[in-house]
A = this chain, B = another copy of it.
């Protein structure tokens, strides 16, 4: 497919630029630099700033499209059928903070999105850009949240979706994507096999947008909206500390990009912030690299219950190290047992039932506090990026009824629970 720029409206986006060598190419379905093979990202010439930008945002809809002036999407995006994620709650976590000894803690709870994970944000932006670039089909390889988000967004947009999953995926997880009625291809292979197949198909099918492959630079920008929403919810202020789970690492680097943009555009004061990354020990290549003081990431073979974070060779790994080191944060990892404890702790204290990725983040928060890396007096935001309903197996052996009784008042009183 040839990128056709004339007549294409991608808002303030003006080019794709290489994150390694800085070379620029025109906006289109490219994702690797033709000069150095480095990854591309969206570059902008923002048209609004300061009070004018803030007013435009605050007059916008209660979803991510209020930030359209900061995204690579058409100006009419809010009126085009899409999944319209965002405007999720920033919950003041007083109980959890008290339990951990944190004075000022918030949970950004992205389980409130349409398919209950932050993937709705990145898919919505990918869909908007892909449609503008002339793509006809929305596709992805995925084992979970991304598959749900692509199938749902495409359904609502009235276009075809093609989702590739491993054929040995649990039936429950197959149903959550199959429900939307798109094309669902089960592949006899592991995620690496499927990913490779997706790359091959993307090269063949000119009008298929694989959200996390050939339109990845647009897709990734969707995570910036997490930073925008947190800052706006706090009354246009950047929190002092943020803890973010790491899969590819893209979410973490884009939240940093979002904060940086807001400060540069005069929407928030340019106050210092520290970004912390969270991984499960069973897939902790970035944490290992951080602790070893390396600026590269050695791939690992994932073995953790936190499957939505189980990327052994994270594309944004080195950039995560850059961000964490630049801001004075850290990367930490926790065992699967700690992950489950994290899920239970968040549910018990705040009534938020998180996916395993959320358990990773809460457990890492606790560990960072225990080791003195996190300041307990600084305003802190942690991200819950998914929903516990999708990873029920993680707690299946850990929780259950307090008591089982006959249906009588005597039986109840005999439990001592009255």
Contact = CB atoms under 8 A, between A and B. Distances in A.
Interface of A: 62, 81, 83-84, 87, 89, 91, 94-95, 109, 112, 114-116, 151-156, 158, 162, 165, 167, 171-172, 174-176, 178-181, 183-189, 193-194, 196-197, 200-201, 204-205, 343-344, 347-353, 387-390, 392, 395-396, 399-409, 412, 415, 417-418
A188 B405 contact: yes
A352 B153 CA distance: 9
A116 B389 contact: yes
A194 to B, nearest CB: 6
B407 A351 contact: no
A302 to B, nearest CB: 18
Given A179-B343, A186-B404, A201-B418, 7 more contacts: A95-B155, A152-B351, A175-B400, A184-B400, A189-B406, A196-B407, A389-B390
Contact of A399 (B167, B175, B194, B348): B175
Contacts of A352: 114, 152, 156
A189 B412 contact: no
11 contacts: A112-B114, A152-B351, A155-B349, A175-B392, A175-B396, A176-B389, A176-B392, A185-B403, A193-B407, A201-B418, A387-B389
Contact of A153 (B87, B171, B351): B351
A401 B167 contact: yes
A171 B109 CA distance: 26
A391 B227 CA distance: 33
Contacts of A396: 171, 175
A197 to B, nearest CB: 5
Nearest to A401: B186
Contacts of A155: 95, 347-351
Given A112-B112, A390-B389, A408-B197, A402 B351 contact: no
A404 B188 contact: yes
Contacts of A81: 94-95
Contact of A348 (B180, B351, B408, B412): B180
